[in-house]
Structure 1
């Protein structure tokens, strides 16, 4: 289990050795492999599913790509809202009033670990989760199924990688302002281009946003700046330096409401969608995140290239919040406790990729060898105290006196440090033989984690050391427009704890089999993907039948199986239609606590979405771009015991863009936009259990004007 000390120095040695090097995306000639046919967003771009430039349509595993045009079309302003129209993803798990985190599940498994430009956003497993704003994102990629062969410890359902805006030699600048529901006021600037006649190019994104939150009394506020500079140091070497700074002085609420009154019958009536169980004197979430990084790309020639990607993170978050403990017998009085968390995280992530393109007879290879390393250190302070009750139907949000909260009485005071270290070595070969594409990969991970200090009133000194070997193989065959594929992949997640005999837990592992077919018409006007998958997750901690109520053993298993279908079609010139459907059957197959045969929460059996977008190019309506979307979210379980269900919902979204330059030449570059989310203002919900539910996003209207030059 424990790696030797010299082996632990490898990531630092690799990072130091790699710093002056690294790869640029190899330029393919007409005679060479077609493996690299893909839209490139800067020379450091890599397909999330392969860490190469293989087209997603040629990748033998499920992947969904949402480009900038799709994000703007649907007026997505967060990762969570962008994923509303992605197959296999159930998003906004904490409803529409909670905006401080992008929480979703993929293929039935919850995911807290987003990636940004191929490196993990460092998350401390508490409340400090870096959240990249979509204003700084060029593309969102969803990699379905186990991803551990390339990324290490991850949930088996998949991952989301955000591709940041990249520098460009092409000059383009945009200013935009927006207003709308909840007193929204927003200004955004983006700019890119070459710096004079030099070898430098840049991109710059800036954003300022203020608005009221959905919940009563809440507010949201964000400021960010994200510059990035490329230096073409030589014909073969490109150096990029990038920064992402975000300050969130206010980020709304996090508290919940009970299911009774939200959608279950309550003799006192129905709660409004802006219902709030917190207190204005004890409702704070302040977050500040700085991420500074660089990339160095070097092409050695003869198909040999190297990429070094490094990022350092420094983040803080302070939170004051309340949580409910019980709903009284009158079904209106809610008992509460007040708590605070004060968190700080520093860490780094680095990925080194050496790739080689070569032929062995008629077989073309894209060989990839990588070494990545992640390190996180986080300090967490936690306090908890009794708080006054609140009448949900006649709420007084001004009851808590912060100076009178008795944190000492609870005995839950915490002040402890968390560390994480993950070292991974991976090898992948991407092979093309005529119309056959085969990918095979293997990865070794060495993971360490510690918790030291005082946690929940007791001393803690926990250490975790786990290793794992991940594997992946897939094949795709091109039959004209159709490409059937099959793949196998496994994954792991580090698991803390031990059994009653003191034996440390092993990593929780999962295996996926997936098969399907991908379609792309000759003119690429129509693309479609159909996938059938089955994931079995094992080594899940569950109750020890021979131990106390607190003892666990790794005897639990969860199975997820389903079908995903997506279609992009242009039936008429100017008309684009996208259709996504997901069927998922997720079940606890082994458990010692009575959950066997149950479905986890937040997993609707059916998800369906359709979006249609039309661009008028001629006549009186030239420049008009209307869009309409319909989303269906099926029933989900109310709690882990499956005692009731959360109702399904059908939601309608609208967008309308108008290019004024089509009508008045002097207004070239001026664009008007209007969007409406949840047009019919339907009530919908998300629940962890009967005591903790969130309302979905209510109807919002936003109007914007932008000028591009």
Structure 2
């Protein structure tokens, strides 16, 4: 295998890290292509003993897992200048991040294999989300790598949409001391400072502290964004067999841009007054607040019981608040410029706990090795929500006055929408999994049973609310993979998912959970200079609520169905010692296949028909350009539908990104550890859009420039 390099401080990918970044399968390059199973965990960028792969909750490499998973390494995140989770996964196949435009940054929202997902994971545990406006986010400065587990995941994680999930891996304490500070300036008056420090306190204790502070103007006029984050963690080697990790994550977002939308006319569609500017804003500076505070306290205990069995407990406690003042539109007038609005506020407080107990064993039975996993996980969330809503003044989108609303003018009592209620959700799951290695064969089977309960109690939209939901579901997965001596590894899998469904039909029968089923056939390949994957899938989601044809317009039954199918191809290839390339391609077809409300045969929103991306890295070894590293990326997002009725199309777009880094040690040995990087997102400043319906569209992110300086020591 040809030699490749990684220069500390430059953010260039070493071979193992690029192999992890291949966007549909995470596996490192084996020295010999006929020995894929010999790849060990030490090739991962994550070196914590408590780390478990997202797709299996064990430490086996993802190459021997018969299901698609994409891993984006920390080096790739650094080079691409990813500050957010959405930016981290945008070069990953099967996932669409262009949902609510560039101005809305308070949610990490994705469409994975045709299904919308608000629910993300952090170190294998759910980031508890109250289904309103309080979604915990993890800042890019605290992220070691990101893993996208594609297809149904309920056999390991409980209730989830059938398209897949995103798991964020945090930066963990290390033995070797390493410290860095980084300063960044950029477009929209961006100012940012980050630090990262890790090392050993003594023979038993390792620490890590990561922090960031950021301020910038938001894309929409009059809006701003601010963030403060700190994340300390400590590893304690309590004994030769027991490791204890304590971690804390605190983030405050005093300002988080905007959440309002714009009509399709003036954005995606033509308007008699001309197109709107990409920084247009339909809200009011006097009534635009979003202040979020999130505290996460976590504990991990990894205990070696004996030579075969390990026990891992992973626990996190959350306390989070969010206060919001905002507006929403109620219609565009015939002049196509006057937008009527209402003003609202939300005050939310969530407390919760989530834990996962795992017993893992490696057992030998003849020529077969069983990687057995038994687990019990639990999560509980209680969220108190206050909501107020009132009529307010309209706005002229083409001659806006963003300072019209005064608090005294809002009559919330007269609206009838006042709400003060509590949401509680609780899940208990028991699961069993066995991953068997037998010669060149790998067999995977898993089964899980969940009990999910939820309630809403209080005043909601002016009426008494007292609803209870109690549902049970058993989900499974099965797969098989064969490793050929030439590096090819074909696989097939079947997986199930479920999501709780509230409400009842007109006879008073409560609804069952919706179900998802996937069949996936794929192939993974690892060669001398190439790692690649090809996957084809079909997911069918059933028991979707739709109108009851024998009832009123408000009566629902569970006979709806959505089908999504597609092909994903991913390649990482080393052209030579200086050039490497990552390529991802997605072709998908999503359709409502059963429905009673006129949607049958329609394509759901936020599902592009095609996606493609490529990232090219260049790092010269010697000569005048030695010390530089250059990255150039292109992302294509195909057309999407404006609304569920498919009344129009959101056009496709091709976006370009670039990165240029320089190791200052190339100028002088005294500058060892110092580096600079210049990165550009949306290089050509393309104007593009996303839409929920004709009343709610968003502009994509404008061109942004960043210049950062880092010192590592």
- The alignment status of 1:446 with 2:451, answered yes or no, reads yes
SS at match of 1:501: coil
**Deviation of the 1:53 alpha carbon:** 1.3
**Deviation of the 1:36 alpha carbon:** 5.2
Match of 1:286 among 283, 288, 291: 291
Superposition map of 1:461-610 within 5 A: 461-480=466-485, 481-521=487-527, 523=528, 525-610=529-614
8 Å CA contact retained: 1:314, 1:347: yes
| Conserved? CA contact 2:451–2:471, under 8 Å | yes
142, 145, 157: which one aligns with 2:148: 142
Distance 1:194 1:620 in 2: 39
Match of 2:639 in 1: 635
Aligned residue number for residue 666 of structure 1: 670
**Displacement of 1:409:** 1.4
2:31 aligned residue? none
Q: Deviations over 1:135-184 (max 9, x none)?
A: 10100000000000000000000000000000010110000000010000
Confirm whether residue 333 of structure 1 aligns to residue 338 of structure 2. yes
How far 1:546 moved relative to its partner?
A: 1.0
- The separation in 1 between residues aligned to 2:359 and 2:40, in whole angstroms, is 16
Q: Are the aligned partners of 1:35 and 1:53 in contact in 2 as well (CA < 8 Å)? A: no
Q: Please, which of 375, 391, 397 is the counterpart of residue 396 of structure 2?
A: 391
Look up the SS of the partner of 1:149 in the other structure. Answer: helix
The residue that corresponds to 1:207 in the other structure is 212
Counterpart among 190, 193, 212 of residue 196 in structure 2:
190
* Residue aligned with 1:57, SS: helix
Alignment partner of 1:682 is 2:686: yes
The equivalent position to 1:706 in structure 2, one of 686, 706, 710, is: 710
| Partner deviation per Cα, 1:682-709 (whole Å, 9 max, x = no partner) | 0000100011000000000000000000
3-state SS of paired residue (1:281) = helix
Question: How many Å apart are 1:357 and its aligned residue?
Answer: 0.6
1:84-483 → structure 2 map (5 Å cutoff): 84-195=90-201, 197-480=202-485, 481-483=487-489
For residue 81 of structure 1, report the CA deviation from its aligned partner. Answer: 1.0
Following superposition, which runs of at least 4 residues in structure 1 exceed 6 angstroms of deviation? Answer: none
Q: Which moved more, 1:384-393 or 1:610-619?
A: 610-619
Q: Secondary structure at the match of 1:497?
A: coil
Deviations 1:207-260 (A, max 9, x none): 000000000001000000000000011111100000000000000000001111
Please name the residue that 2:628 is paired with.
Answer: 624
Per the TM alignment, residue 615 of structure 1 is displaced from its structure 2 partner at its CA by 1.1
1:303 to partner: Cα distance: 1.4
State the Cα deviation string for residues 11-50 of structure 1 (Å, max 9, x = none). xxxxxxxxxxxxxxxxxxxx99858545243000011000
Contact 2:36/2:63 (CA < 8 Å) preserved in 1?
no
The secondary structure found in structure 2 opposite 1:572 is: coil
Unaligned runs of 5+ in 1: 1-30
**Residue in structure 2 matched with residue 6 of structure 1 by the alignment:** none
Contact residue 312 and residue 349 of structure 1 kept, 8 A: yes
Map of 1:24 onto structure 2: none
* In structure 2, C-alpha distance between the alignment counterparts of 1:359 and 1:235, rounded to whole Å: 24
- SS of the residue corresponding to residue 301 of structure 1 reads coil
Query: Which secondary structure does the structure 1 equivalent of 2:266 belong to?
Result: helix
The answer for the alignment partner of 2:54 in structure 1 is: 48
What is the distance in 1 between the residues matched to 2:443 and 2:689? 43
**Deviations, residues 254-296 of structure 1 (Å, cap 9, x unaligned):** 0001111112111101100000000000000000000001101
CA contact (8 A) 1:145 1:156 kept: yes
Provide the C-alpha distance between the structure 2 equivalents of 1:255 and 1:176, rounded to a whole number of angstroms: 33
Specify whether residues 450 and 36 from structure 1 end up closer, same or farther in structure 2 by C-alpha distance, changes over 3 A only: farther
- Residue 526 (structure 1) shift: 1.3
Name the CA distance, whole Å, in 1 between partners of 2:640 and 2:539. Answer: 19
After superposition, give the CA deviation of every residue in 1:70-100 in whole Å (9 maximum; x if it has no partner). Answer: 1111111100111110000000311000111
Distance in 2 between the 1:587 and 1:187 partners?
45
SS in 2 for 1:620: coil
Aligned to 1:692: 696
Q: Matched residues in 2 for 1:403 and 1:247: separation? A: 28
Superimposed CA distance per residue, residues 602-630 of structure 1 (whole angstroms, 9 cap, x where no aligned partner): 00100000110111221111110111000
The Cα of 1:387 is off from its aligned counterpart by: 1.1
CA distance in 2, matches of 1:228, 1:410: 47
Decide which moves more: 296-305 or 126-135.
296-305
Instruction: Provide the rounded CA distance (Å) in 1 between the counterparts of 2:125 and 2:580.
Output: 33
| Cα pair 1:93 1:104 within 8 Å, conserved | yes
Paired residues in the alignment total 676
Q: Is the 8 A contact 2:37 2:64 kept in 1?
A: no
User: Do the aligned partners of 1:622 and 1:663 also contact (CA within 8 Å) in 2?
Assistant: no
Work out whether residues 325 and 336 of structure 1, in 8 Å CA contact, stay in contact via their aligned partners in 2: yes
- Which segment is superposed worse, 123-132 or 543-552? 543-552
- TM-score, normalised to structure 1, is 0.94
For the pair 1:70 / 2:76, whether they are aligned, the reply is yes
Q: 1:657 to 1:35 in 2, by over 3 A?
A: closer
CA contact (8 A) 1:687 1:694 kept: yes
Counterparts of 1:633 and 1:355 in 2: how far apart (Å)? Answer: 41
SS at match of 2:393: strand
- 2 CA distance for matches of 1:92 and 1:659? 33
